[in-house]
Amino acid sequence: MTARGHKGRGPASFHPGVEEEAEIILTFDDNRLASVVFGQFDQNLAHLERRLHVVATANGNRVTVKGTPEGSELARRVLESLYDQARQGVVLSPGDVDGAVQEASLQGTLFSSEEVPVPGLTSFDQIATRKRGPVRARNAAQNDYIKALKKNELVFAEGPAGTGKTWLAVGYAVSLLEQGQAERLILSRPAVEAGERLGFLPGDMRDKVDPYLRPIYDALYDFMEARHVDRGLQTGMIEIAPLAFMRGRTLTKAVVLLDEAQNTTSMQMKMFLTRLGEGSRMIITGDPTQIDLPPGQKSGLVEATKILDGVEGIGRVTFREGDVVRHDLVRRIVTAYDEATRRGEHVTTPQALPGRRA
């Protein structure tokens, strides 16, 4: 991969207020990998243009970037990072472009001019599974999350939907299973109805809790082959454990994931936390702004994070609306709801709609 560029100074050097423009040309060695970097119909380049306010024009295995000197240089680092990821077999998406932009931006702010950066220190951390390969953090919060998962036996992750809390937790758990560092994956979630009345659910215990655990299943199938997931469920390597049935157990050599933890009561959370056994890891995720417990009931997640703040061996990562990585529209939706909450506006519940019986 080669790069060359020049700055178009001209009148900009003599007239204040005229913005300087730079042009950088990148030539990638592999045409196939270059097309992966650019994306289908150059969607990744289009996303890069929107994020950095540059103009990126692709021609074969070459891309020309025009914009401010700072923007063009940042775009160059982003494209080089994406090319390295493509060489590792990563199928790139606009979300990966967002991650590369944040990573490249941090590279210029983590060190003062007197410090010499250590190679690789500014790179976002990653996890790897056999099916999906390396998965790199897409923002600083996800980077902190992955580091916390690797460092601590117990990790709390709080934040809005779409930030990757559950998805990355499942990916990390699968990586530990595949490396032999854990023998079991135990999935749990409080069965609290979010306003709907599901009524009687037929079937065995797994059938009854499946609707509540569907997001975790989706993540499992992302990181593992379907046949391996099904075999793991049959052999007990992957276990579905309703929160109410965890009492009295001691979980050893396992990765234990509690999702939607904001809907646990104080007693349930304390009971769950004390199930941790030797050689196990515990990951607890939830969104304190979406508590579906009855009015007046205290959230076990909110209480636990306050009580356990500063306890050695426990990590805590808080995601914000700006950390949403699912889709640009999801980020805008979350931001709009947060702004409405700050203004004191309330969303009308179905029970309060005119003509509807409570």
For residue 357, what pLDDT is reported?
A: 41
Hey, what amino acid is at 3? A
Task: Write out pLDDT tens, residues 160-178.
Answer: 888 899 999 999 999 999 9
**Which of 68-72, 86-90, 110-114 is predicted with the least confidence, judged by mean pLDDT?**
110-114
| Confidence at 200, pLDDT banded by 50, 70, 90 | low
For residue 3, what pLDDT is reported?
A: 58
Give the CA distances from residue 160 to residues 10, 106, 286, 322, in Å, rounded to whole numbers and listed in that order: 48, 23, 8, 10
Task: Write out pLDDT tens, residues 296-306.
Answer: 889 999 999 99
The CATH number assigned to the domain with range 127-352 reads 3.40.50.300
For residue 353, what pLDDT is reported?
A: 40
For residue 18, what pLDDT is reported?
A: 57
Cα 95 to the chain's mean position, in Å?
Answer: 10
Residue with the larger pLDDT of the pair 350 and 304: 304
Most confident range, picked from 63-67, 112-116, 117-121, 346-350 = 63-67
Question: What value does the mean pLDDT take over residues 33-41?
Answer: 91
| Confidence at 93, pLDDT banded by 50, 70, 90 | confident
Q: Do the Cβ atoms of 158 and 305 come closer than 8 Å?
A: yes
CA distance 30 to 83: 10
Is the pLDDT assigned to residue 214 strictly greater than 50?
Answer: yes
Question: What value does the mean pLDDT take over residues 79-83?
Answer: 91
Question: What value does the mean pLDDT take over residues 89-103?
Answer: 82
Q: How far apart are the first and last CA of the chain?
A: 65
Helix (H) / strand (E) containing 52 = helix 43-52
Question: What value does the mean pLDDT take over residues 6-14?
Answer: 47
Percent of residues in the chain assigned helix, strand, coil, to nearest 5: 45, 20, 40
Is the pLDDT assigned to residue 59 strictly greater than 70?
Answer: yes
For residue 209, what pLDDT is reported?
A: 63
What is the pLDDT of the chain when averaged over all its residues? 82
Domains of the chain, residue spans: 2-107, 127-352
| Confidence at 272, pLDDT banded by 50, 70, 90 | very high
Q: How many residues does the chain have?
A: 358
Question: What value does the mean pLDDT take over residues 217-244?
Answer: 90
Question: What value does the mean pLDDT take over residues 224-253?
Answer: 89
CA distance 117 to 107: 9
For residue 247, what pLDDT is reported?
A: 83
Q: Do the Cβ atoms of 160 and 324 come closer than 8 Å?
A: yes
Question: What value does the mean pLDDT take over residues 312-337?
Answer: 82
Question: What value does the mean pLDDT take over residues 24-48?
Answer: 91
For residue 203, what pLDDT is reported?
A: 64
Task: Write out pLDDT tens, residues 111-137.
Answer: 333 444 444 434 788 898 999 888 888
For residue 328, what pLDDT is reported?
A: 66
For residue 301, what pLDDT is reported?
A: 96
CA distance 130 to 210: 25
State the maximum Cα–Cα separation within the chain, in Å, rounded to a whole number: 78
**Hey, what are 145's tokens?**
């999350």
- Strand blocks (E) in the chain: 2-8, 21-27, 55-59, 62-67, 126-129, 133-136, 154-158, 184-188, 238-240, 254-258, 281-286, 314-318
**Hey, what are 130's tokens?**
């056999």
Is the pLDDT assigned to residue 204 strictly greater than 70?
Answer: no
For residue 248, what pLDDT is reported?
A: 83
Threshold 0.85, pTM exceeds: no
Question: What is the fold of 2-107?
Answer: Ribosomal Protein S8; Chain: A, domain 1 (3.30.1370)
Question: What value does the mean pLDDT take over residues 185-205?
Answer: 65
